[in-house]
Structure 1
Amino acid sequence: MTGHDIQTLATRLLGKPVDALDPEEHYVLKTMQARQPTSRDAADIADERATFGERLADRVAAIGGSWGFIIAFTVILLSWMILNTDILGHLGLAFDPYPYIFLNLMLSMLAAIQAPVIMMSQNRQSAKDRVAASLDFEVNLRAELEILRLHHKIDQGVVDRLDQLTQQITAIAQRLDGPARTA
């Protein structure tokens, strides 16, 4: 196939000229022309496009949203309270006695840092979902266009066979009419 064939496919299957095609439509027609698969892995594409900050945000969100983090954080909080209340409190060395003002400050700072990082990760997940939707569209479009091509091919085969049958019927009718006229 040539570049002209992409124009033909665009016009015949999509009803648009090549310059009016969306990038996804153009990609699908190019893969059809090259007889290559259209499908691609959305996760791979999103990972290729990810910056260091986005990958870091994903890691922080994955850790911060896990049961391991919740359990470890609970153990640390309980240890802090026991250490400052019971152990160091009895010795008069508690550096953050009840109501744990320093602990509250640390928790507030953690929340202030963790919330935007989690939001960055959610934004990245939204971007991944958009990439996945775009790739799904490409695959669906390719399937639809290939089905249209098959319909056209079958329809053309039916038309060709009907033409052959019409010619055969005409030839038979001429042979049958020929001897009847001479008699």
Structure 2
Amino acid sequence: MNKTIEELAKRWLKRKPDGLSQVESQVLQSTLERTTISKDTNKAVAFHQTFGDRLADTIARIGGSWSFILAFIAFLILWTSGNVWLLSRDAFDPYPFIFLNLILSMIAALQAPVIMMAQNRQAERDRIDAAHDYEVNLK
């Protein structure tokens, strides 16, 4: 049962070998050599990540968690109640909470681009996974 790439291309893909893409040729070669084509795509993505990429992913993961949301709600309640009731005479940020507004604006200005960077990297991971799935399914 000694087959060639040409025989496999004609039989499985109904095409000549010169019309195959690089991925299809690699899959057929892997089939002939009886080697696996699967690989860990997470390692490939992690290898190319910079410190900024990892930091952005961590910030996006933390900022999108329920624990962060609940802690942030608790912070807002403490800030407003502390300045309205507890420190009504000596409040460091009296109503309408201008300093709190500044802090929230700065957080939003930093968090939005970081989340967008994390989403772009996730889209890249998805493209790599889809290409790998295509190779595995082709085999």
Amino acid at match of 1:97: P
Identify the match of residue 131 of structure 1 among 105, 128, 131. 128
Flag the 1:54–1:24 CA change in 2: closer, same or farther, 3 A: farther
2:17 aligned with 1:17:
yes
2:86 aligned with 1:87:
yes
2:103 aligned with 1:106:
yes
Amino acid at match of 1:27: Q
**Aligned partner of residue 89 in structure 1, secondary structure:** coil
**Could you tell me how far apart the structure 2 residues matched to 1:24 and 1:52 are?**
31
1:1-183, aligned counterparts within 5 Å? 5-6=4-5, 9-10=8-9, 13-14=12-13, 15-17=15-17, 20-90=19-89, 92=90, 94-142=91-139
Query: Where does structure 1 lack aligned partners over 5 or more consecutive residues?
Result: 143-183
Count of aligned pairs between the two proteins: 136
Q: How far is 1:6 from its partner?
A: 4.0
**Could you tell me how far apart the structure 2 residues matched to 1:128 and 1:64 are?**
20
Flag the 1:138–1:69 CA change in 2: closer, same or farther, 3 A: same
TM-score, reference length from structure 1: 0.65
Percent identical residues: 52
Flag the 1:113–1:101 CA change in 2: closer, same or farther, 3 A: same
Q: How far is 1:10 from its partner?
A: 4.4
Does the 8 Å contact 1:24/1:134 carry over to 2? no
**Could you tell me how far apart the structure 2 residues matched to 1:27 and 1:60 are?**
38
Amino acid at match of 1:127: E
Flag the 1:50–1:25 CA change in 2: closer, same or farther, 3 A: farther
Q: In the alignment, what sits opposite 1:176?
A: none
Does the 8 Å contact 2:5/2:17 carry over to 1? no
Amino acid at match of 1:44: K
**Could you tell me how far apart the structure 2 residues matched to 1:51 and 1:30 are?**
34
Does the 8 Å contact 2:37/2:135 carry over to 1? yes
Does the 8 Å contact 1:96/1:102 carry over to 2? yes
Q: How far is 1:59 from its partner?
A: 1.0
**Could you tell me how far apart the structure 1 residues matched to 2:129 and 2:64 are?**
23
TM-score, reference length from structure 2: 0.83
Which structure has the bigger radius of gyration?
1
